[in-house]
Amino acid sequence: MISTGQPTITLSPAAGKDPGVLVVGLAETSEGELLIGLPDDLGKTFTKALGSDVAALARQLGGSAKPGRTVLVTGPGGWRIVVVGVGPIDVTPEQVRRAAGAAVRLVGGLPAAGPQTVTISLETAEPQVIKGAAEGALLGAYSYRKGSGAGIGHIILVSQNRKPEARQALELATTTASSVDLAREWVNLPGNVLFPESFADAVRPLARNPRLGLEVWDEKALERDGFGGLLAVGGGSDRKPRLVKLSYAPRGAKFHLALVGKGITFDAGGLNLKGADGMYTMKTDMAGAAAVLAATAAIAEIGLRIRVTAWAAMAENLPSGSAYRPSDVLTMYGGKTVENGNSDAEGRLVMADALVKCAEEKPDLVIDVATLTGACVVALGERVAGLMARDDETADLVLDAAEAAGEQFWQLPIPEDARPKLDSKVADLKSTGDKHGGALTAAAFLSEFVPEETPWAHLDIAGPSFNSGSAYDYTPAGGTGVGVRTLIALAHALAN
């Protein structure tokens, strides 16, 4: 995995004499709030020196058991304790993930001479809770550009579990968080740095892992093979499109999972030009490609016994004399013709090419991931991603994986009336429908490029792929890496 400056992390049965900043939890119980994870001797030291226990001091500073609420309590001997709300006492992995992330973010922003050590003591014992705490801490430590704080250098996770399962959970969390951070890093890069050719080049270091294979189609290869969607969308830019295939095929794998990601490195809307406000964050329109590539690299590093092939359709959508036009008829890879309804509905065109190409290998399941529609953001907001599938069994597989990973997806339908909206008088179908149910119509369009007998799900991550506001829990400002954890959890569930 490419390094993203991730802190080191280790397990310890107890907080040491020099824990750096110690993180403990405040939980809700039927009898009130309860402090968890604070060593008894340290608690007595604080009470004796300050005349009040740590929980009371935290409450005086505004702390509570509300999830994510954090306060810093300082005491004798230079001790610094972060008290973080964890919610109900019967914690879930996601509760601990959020709490650890919020606490580490606070510590990372504190002034210090150098990268800090943070010890997380939240009474983690079960492997999934250990994994959640470690992921939250590592994800909370990420920053694309360092702020005023010194950041985090080392994380110590306190756990009494000394079995191999604890170490395995920590290793899985480390690989998962690293892959999420890689996706975040790509999403955060500006369009003048990350464009189709440079994005494809950025994937090449992943293939240093001998388990991974890499193939890249440049504009000449795309033209030779007839990738009409990618060529049309990328035709308005001097930076030509790419199709990237990253493959992992371990010996003995019986299931083939295909992942297809939208990789529009900048989307100005083409001739259907976006407004200035809508264009500003369009460097992030490649978050789907980032997710499938980073997840595949992680799955290979973990060594899951499942074949995974990631396809990233990369293009830059700009207006120029060579840009494709509304009403153009495009011949997609595989021969199907599409009447272009709107050049700002470009993602589905590049995805269509990649979906047809990936289906030639007859995968057992196809998942596509894309920042596809503003309509999905209108429907579900900025923190929930949309899920559309041909059948509920496939949808349930993805929803179960998302729940295990701690990511929020909501199933939307592909109604019967969506496909007729795409009828065209001059082509096999049109790329856009009417103004209603845009996310559903987009899914109906994509479904036309996946064989009916192939299980398929479409993940629209337009809302949660980029956080334009302030950081919260383990989610930073900027690229979030959404989808990566769900895809890894899905591969775990499907591996034999």
pLDDT tens, 40-83? 888 898 899 888 899 999 999 999 999 999 999 998 888 899 99
Q: Where in the chain is the domain with CATH 3.40.220.10?
A: 8-175
Per-residue pLDDT of 177-200, as tens digits, reads 999 999 999 999 999 999 999 999
Spatial distance between the Cα atoms of 259 and 363, rounded to a whole number of angstroms: 10
Amino acid at 21: V
**3 pLDDT band (50/70/90 cuts)?**
low
114 has pLDDT over 90? no
Q: Kindly tell me if the per-residue pLDDT of 97 is higher than 90.
A: yes
Q: CB neighbours (10 Å) of residue 138?
A: 26
395-454 pLDDT, tens digit per residue, is 999 999 999 999 999 999 999 999 999 999 999 999 999 999 999 999 999 999 999 999
* Residues in CB range of 162: below 8 A, 6 or more apart: 13
Across 278-319, the runs of DSSP E, i.e. the strands, are: 307-317
Could you give the angle at the alpha carbon of 296 between the alpha carbons of 386 and 137, nearest 5°?
75
Per residue in 311-359, pLDDT (tens digit) is 999 999 999 999 999 999 999 999 999 999 999 999 999 999 999 999 9
- How many CB atoms neighbour CB 276 within 10 A? 7
pLDDT of residue 148: 55
Report, as residue numbers or ranges, the catalytic residues. 274, 348
Chain position carrying tokens 């599938």: 389
Q: Quick one: which of 441, 460, 276 has its CA closest to 377?
A: 460
What is the DSSP pairing of strand 21-29 with strand 32-36? antiparallel
Please give the structure tokens belonging to residue 273: 């030009």
pLDDT for the residue 77: 80
- Non-local CB neighbours of 243 within 8 Å, separated by 6+ positions: 216, 217, 221, 222, 227, 230, 311, 312, 313, 314, 353, 354, 357
* CATH code for the part of the protein at 189-494: 3.40.630.10
The third-level CATH classification (topology) of the domain covering 8-175 is Leucine Aminopeptidase, subunit E; domain 1 (3.40.220)
Query: Which residues are CB-contacts of 78 (< 8 A; sequence separation ≥ 6)?
Result: none
Neighbours of 12 (CB within 10 A): 15
